[in-house]
Chain A
């Protein structure tokens, strides 16, 4: 692990390579990385606990805002879990609309990733080109849902907006433009020398290591693990649609690039199928306010991998427990393995290649006492009492206010 003779360089929590705060400690000998370790938790916002204090619909607003780029993934996954517990049958048109937005979100996310990957290897031109093309899909999503990110299209029992004929035509036109541009990027990925030099052989994660470390999504599919929740455990309308699972055996960052580019082409075909096959009918069924007791696990193929939500209901309006496991939490464990024996210059692209979304990931609290160098898990009640004591020390007493609030409710 980290030896005392090596230079220790902190990547993060604030660093130009990272789009969100996370702490990597890297030991260097010259330009070679000898050891690396990860610390999560800088983006923890207590969302799971907050969901327990809110009704299901209010919780949906929160879950949607876990992340900007996979917002629809979290929202759909959560809603699917609730619908399973309550036994709600979502109409076909709603399922198709959810799939449409899901695939548009995947296109948006993969184009964003291409740009970020370009920026991490100093290829700003790729960043500017892909983000210009991303505007097409963002405008489409804005006309369909009213917002460029955080679409708010889901509700328990269906979707909130319908699609008109004109919007269908606009989507098809937009997809045509994007498909042409993506073909150009695939050409670029195959032929551009400096790109190949920076991406090939970097961040290698062998097939066995990927299985052992549980890599999901494009990270796993680039190492030959051909698992995709859309095929293995179909949700929304994926059972009726025809698509391939893209998996390669390159096991490096270049493989992950190829997988994402391939998934872009599949997404274009899926969007066209959805527009063609979407059935008529209602977009919503009325859902009860009180969800009967029960529990459900819901899985969803987010752009970054398998997203997992667990919901436990207890017959009231508020959930008993909500647990979110984002795909980046599964992938982050392989980063240390990928950085073994590499150069410092590879560090940004290796971290970017798992498409990290640390906002999705940070779910657990583990307090580390840096003076005594020990860790312990803190219960919610302890934090609450500590907070009350802290304010009492400074002469602020909340007990009177608390009595008034409890009287109101």
Chain B
């Protein structure tokens, strides 16, 4: 009982996620700024933003549905926090694991997008409703390639449990190279899930003010920003576990350090991609995802199926 509470609240639960989430946001913003020839925020900036927002007055719009409006940020925070419990961080086994937990993690990481939609829709402001619809439309574009790439990796490992997948790859280190296409596609889809440029269409500041989050303020906005950070950590952790299975035969502390390096590497790539591109239009994004990403993901699945047959022999 105490152990479960420790896992949920401290490591790898809320406290660890909060600290690592702030650190990840700092790394992202600092790298983005340095790429643009700016100085960027100091290390405590995300924490300062969080504290400032918590201290502000919470205003719920009169026409908005108050219950849904207030519930959605907490739901987003919870869902992404639970996802991390199934991802191996300390050692090659996650805190909880069972056959099929890859699907559960993917499902939990999709819930925040739905909460952004519902929160925006029930805010009843024109900008929020347009942003909400956009975030759902974007979901249809990037979810399928992402799921397929993770599925391809799981296929080769012949298991639906994330911990067993990681163990399999750590024993057969050469096989991670087979998933390289999947890694590329999954990185781009992660950009879509985290709503970062070039896929930050639901939150296009110059078009619809702040999309779903236009009416959010105070504590609720702090939780939404926190949920974005935790989703970034959880998504990067998932990608690191599936596609970068290195150093897993070492003692748990070393595995944890490797994990930190891998997650920060993925976040650095995200920051780099953020600097390079302009924001795409929604129709262009859907075109791109279905014309290029989905076929590549299918190709990866096919490749892994063939490899599995070859290897079994």
- Seen from chain A, the residues whose Cβ lies within 8 Å of a Cβ on chain B are 7-10, 15-17, 28, 31, 118-126, 128-129, 132, 192, 194-195, 197-198, 343-348
Contacts and interface: CB of A to CB of B under 8 A. Distances in A.
Nearest to B209: A16
Contacts of B126: 7-10
A124 B36 contact: yes
A243 to B, nearest CB: 31
A367 B112 CA distance: 48
Interface in B275-301: 275-284
Given A122-B198, A122-B278, A128-B37, 10 more contacts: A17-B206, A28-B130, A122-B200, A122-B204, A123-B279, A194-B198, A194-B278, A194-B279, A345-B282, A348-B207
A198 B280 contact: yes
Given A9-B126, A194-B198, A197-B284, A129 B36 contact: yes
B207 A194 contact: no
A128 B276 CA distance: 12
Given A194-B278, A343-B282, A125 B35 contact: yes
A343 B137 CA distance: 15
A9 B130 CA distance: 10
B197 interface: yes
Interface string B197-213: 11011001111110000
Contact of A128 (B38, B278, B283): B38
B282 A128 contact: no
Interface in B93-142: 126-127, 129-130, 134
Nearest to A32: B283
Nearest to B210: A16
A15 B208 CA distance: 9
Nearest to B197: A122
Contacts of B284: 197
A217 to B, nearest CB: 23
11 contacts: A17-B206, A28-B130, A31-B134, A122-B206, A125-B276, A194-B277, A194-B278, A343-B282, A344-B208, A345-B281, A348-B207
A165 B197 CA distance: 47
Contacts of A28: 130
Is chain A's binding surface mostly helix, strand, loop or mixed?
A: helix
Closest 4 interchain pairs by CB?
A122-B279, A123-B278, A128-B36, A194-B278
B205 A16 contact: yes
A195 B200 CA distance: 15
Contacts of A9: 126-127, 130
Nearest to A342: B281
Contacts of B204: 122, 345
B130 A344 contact: yes
A15 B209 contact: yes
Nearest to A30: B133
A198 B197 contact: no
Contact of A132 (B37, B207, B209): B37
A195 B283 CA distance: 15
B121 to A, nearest CB: 13
Nearest to A124: B36
Interface in B64-100: none
- Of listed B197, B278, B280, B284, residue having the most chain A CB within 10 A: B278
A346 to B, nearest CB: 7
A386 B85 CA distance: 70
Contacts of A128: 36-38
Contacts of B279: 121-123, 194, 198, 345
Contacts of A7: 126, 129-130
B206 A16 contact: yes
A194 B279 CA distance: 7
A116 to B, nearest CB: 10
Interface in B174-225: 197-198, 200-201, 204-209
Contacts of B277: 123, 194
A130 to B, nearest CB: 11
Contacts of A122: 197-198, 200, 204-206, 278-279
A31 B282 contact: yes
Contacts of A198: 278-281
- Of listed B37, B126, B279, residue having the most chain A CB within 10 A: B279
Interface string B164-179: 0000000000000000
Given A128-B37, A132-B37, A121 B278 contact: yes
A17 B36 contact: no
- Of listed A8, A120, A195, A346, residue having the most chain B CB within 10 A: A120
B28 to A, nearest CB: 14
Contacts of A125: 35-36, 275-276
B281 A343 contact: yes
Contacts of A192: 278
A347 B280 CA distance: 13
A118 B36 contact: no
Contacts of B201: 345
B169 to A, nearest CB: 34
Contacts of A343: 281-283
A80 B199 CA distance: 50
B207 A344 contact: yes
- Of listed A9, A31, A343, A345, residue having the most chain B CB within 10 A: A345
B130 A348 contact: no
B194 to A, nearest CB: 15
A132 B36 CA distance: 10
Nearest to A348: B206
Contact of B280 (A16, A124, A126, A197): A197
